Structure 1
Amino acid sequence: MAVWTPKFITFDCYGTLINFDMAGAARRCYTDRVGADIMPAFITDFARFRLDEVLGAWKPYYDIVSSALQRTCRKWQVEWQPQDSDFIYADCKTWTAHPDVPEGLRKIAPSIPLVLLTNSMNDLIPHHVPRLGAPIHMTITAEETGAYKPAMRGFEYMLNKLECGPDEILHVSSSLRYDLMTAHDLGIKNKVFVNRGHEPGCPAYGYTEINDISELPAVVGL
């Protein structure tokens, strides 16, 4: 990608900026009920069921997590208890930013407004924005848009609220499935894939690949 200054840089938050440790939360919750030999597969299914849950009608993220957890437990014949969902949702509030995030964002924020488009809730995201270490111009949650990514509705809502077109933003995410495929389909040509190793890339979707946020300022000439 040639050096170009977007009107806004828009970000996925969890996984891209905040260390999305749902796998760790599941391990901590089920360490006494799920054997070490099946724990990786248990965690993988939990992630897949969460994606399936967000593809349906909007509901609070607690319910997304709880339903996916119950489906995972049924598949693996593990006892689910209501407090398990409470534990994992509470664990979400403790997550911190990836170490590379604050400095990288601080280099950009004075020149280009930073925007979050997140699958979070209005009561959950305030725990994480201060940990990013840089001014955030606008935060848009799935609760506000009434839709979870990868649905297009959140992106459309964001562009309307920012009063800009898809050609005026740079969208940054560590996920093809949740973000960059949808951004591509909406005509957002300027995209960055942060390869944090939790999801494979696909260059056919047309993005610049970086290893972490410390490399992002150079993408926009800062």
Structure 2
Amino acid sequence: MTLEHTPRPSWLTFDCYGTLIQWDEGLRAAVQKILRLKGAPDIPPADLIALHDRYEHQLEQERPHRSFREVSDQSVRMALEALGLRSDAGDGRILTDGIGAMPPFPEVVGALRRLKELGFKLCIVSNTDDDIIAGNVAQLGGTIDRVITAQQAGAYKPARRLFDYAHAELGVSRHDVVHICASPHLDHAAARDIGFRCVWIDRGVRAPLPDYTPDATLARLDEVPGLFQKLGW
């Protein structure tokens, strides 16, 4: 499937972290700080990140729903213990307290402004809590019309419940949106299972799913307005 010969969307939905906000860079800095405080600077940050990501994803799928702060605190603790390191109550806050200050990618605010000029309404759909993402949204130049979080929906990506909740809140069906994202294992999995249109911002750090091809693949967010103009949108 491609975007050609499909209708202009009324809303554009966006993944936040890794798509608009420099998540990987911020996560690496937080993990390096945690390892320094543990007296373990020789442990590769990638090892702790991989464990944290695995446990976080597992915890997000469990019921009842827990806040992102709770999930992150527990996944950091589990990852540290798996590496043989002692965990403390404040370890998870080193990450979660810093998320709101993570900056957007350099091209993001200009690209969002251009999409607004083209008449699109913009919504973020994110696996986070309202108070955490507020600091990131404040850095996006007033371009975002709506923010839908896992906290509001009571579910995390790639669960259908989060996207169904977002579409209901926006008053649209899956056919009325195009989702723009950087995460194959979360957003692409949802696009594959639900059937909404999807543009992948491939920043070169994540592998695609073997059983899904996005409707378009671009390297940077500022390529999106040009693509949509070529489509006559």
Aligned mates of 1:66, 1:148 — CA distance in 2: 16
- The equivalent residue for 2:173 is 165
How much does 1:138 deviate?
0.9
Letter in 2 for 1:23: R
Q: Of 80, 84, 89, which residue of structure 2 is paired with 1:73?
A: 80
1:167-194 Cα shifts (integer Å, max 9, x gaps): 1110011001111211221111x21111
CA contact (8 A) 2:32 2:41 kept: no
Aligned mates of 1:26, 1:153 — CA distance in 2: 30
Aligned mates of 1:93, 1:157 — CA distance in 2: 23
- The equivalent residue for 2:50 is 44
Relative to the length of structure 2, the TM-score reads: 0.89
Partner of 2:151, secondary structure, is helix
Relative to the length of structure 1, the TM-score reads: 0.93
Aligned mates of 1:30, 1:54 — CA distance in 2: 24
Does 1:206 pair with 2:213? yes
How much does 1:5 deviate?
2.2
Aligned mates of 1:86, 1:116 — CA distance in 2: 23
Aligned-pair Cα RMSD in Å: 1.7
Aligned mates of 1:66, 1:171 — CA distance in 2: 29
Q: Of 7, 10, 16, which residue of structure 2 is paired with 1:7?
A: 10
Aligned mates of 1:203, 1:41 — CA distance in 2: 24
Does 1:175 pair with 2:183? yes
1:58-86 Cα shifts (integer Å, max 9, x gaps): 11111111110111111110111112122
Deviating 4+ runs (over 6 angstroms): none
- The equivalent residue for 2:31 is 26
Please give the residue correspondences for 1:1-222 in structure 2 after superposition, counting only pairs within 5 Å: 1-2=3-4, 5-20=8-23, 21-32=26-37, 33-57=39-63, 58-110=65-117, 111-188=119-196, 190-202=197-209, 204-207=211-214, 208-221=216-229
CA contact (8 A) 1:10 1:116 kept: yes
Aligned mates of 1:41, 1:87 — CA distance in 2: 17
How much does 1:30 deviate?
1.4
Alignment length (residue pairs): 221
How much does 1:8 deviate?
0.7
The alignment-based identity, stated in percent, is 24
5+ long unaligned stretches in structure 2: none
**Does 163-172 or 1-10 show the bigger shift?**
1-10
CA contact (8 A) 2:60 2:71 kept: yes
